[in-house]
Chains A and B, each alone.
Chain A
Amino acid sequence: MDVTRVIIVAVGGQGNLLASSVLGEAALLAGMPMQMSEIHGMAQRGGVVESALIFGEARSTIISDGEADLLVGFEPAETLRAVQKCNADSVVITNLAPLMPFTVNIGKGVYPDLAQLQDLIRKKTARLIAFNAAKLANEAGNPLAVNMVLLGALTQVDILPFSVDNVKEAMGRKTKQQFLESNLKAFDLGFRAAEQAG
């Protein structure tokens, strides 16, 4: 089996680590080798959280620049910041709902223009799937389920060799029971959004 490398970037509090552990659990269910690593500097204090997931027969737990097959960004500026992890064949999925860094709020730096951001990523990579995941999470009745929306989109692009059922079962094991219904709804909305992105 080929090795598939996935980077997930997010801002602390967006539930990136939970999304990663759902994917890990799904790999376990599918009987597929997987390693991952996370760097969460000071996540709770507003920093960036990055996970690297490597599926298939590999030992490394981190991903070098240019070596990601799939980049999933939970926040648009963070997706762009991580774009050097991609090569011309990479697929990128990004949420389009910005979370302003406080540096912008205090007048240090300008938030990138979203249209330009998408153009840049589209030009450099094989495919960009971009949509407002925060809106879909709200629609699912759980504003905190942005991670599950993106998990749905990521499962749809069919880069990871396991089934929708594997992921859903993993969600059942890894997420809180009281949120499972809204999480599954969020997942489906993300899945459809990626489908429509074509």
Chain B
Amino acid sequence: MAIIEVKDLHFSYEENIEALKGVSFSIEKGSYTTILGHNGSGKSTIAKLIAGLLEAKSGEIYIDGQKLSIDTIADIRKKLGIVFQNPDNQFIASSVREDIAFGLENYCVDPLKMDDIIDKYAGLVGMKENLDKEPSNLSGGQKQRVAIAGILAMHPSIIIFDEATSMLDPTGKEEIKKIIYDLHGDDKRTILSITHDIEEALKSDYIIVMNEGKVYKCGKPHEIFSDTKGLRDIGLDIPFTYKVKEALEKEGIKIPYTDTIEELAEVLWSNLKA
């Protein structure tokens, strides 16, 4: 069942320049979907439209069967969390504790219950020891973890990550990626991750490739990445294992598609043995 359905979305920031030129796709409930695309291809615009932060010029968005409109937006926002790119610009309050409480306050949660909720979700992202820290004393990765905790506290069934790891150092990136995988794996949440990380895309269930405000292609990872030429033409990178397969094919050696280096090594080894 599709939990997010987008039909023929058009959007412009400035008159006569369309940032989205008719975008349609649907996302399955419980899936891990990645959106790839060069800078300026319209990925963040899509995320903001889905989260109801921008209003489409035309087209429709359905979340969990509900059509997104002024009347349903409050309802839909409860089902959907979004983590943005810049860790600093989504840390609203002056301490970890207060920041997680921010969303709870907006949804009128009983203040007496807040401490337990805060403890629980800070614990889930490994921030329980830092509840009273100020944002200026936290690393980028820690701030992103707080953002995730704040969102989890609202029990959304969909979480959108808009390049949430791109401003982090390698350790921070790994921490956040692990949390995202756990959210998908353990909790069966629908994840929509906008990313430049092809390894992440390769592991996802479904990929949407954006190019210049349009969907270039949607599909399972091997369907997307086997089109190496097309992806290069729109300025996207190819996963390492696909590059190796492509290079071997040029030499006349055929191997099946592989997703990880381990799989690739195994395939090559068995080819060598044969």
* A and B part of one assembly: no
Residue positions of B touching A, CB distance < 8 A: none
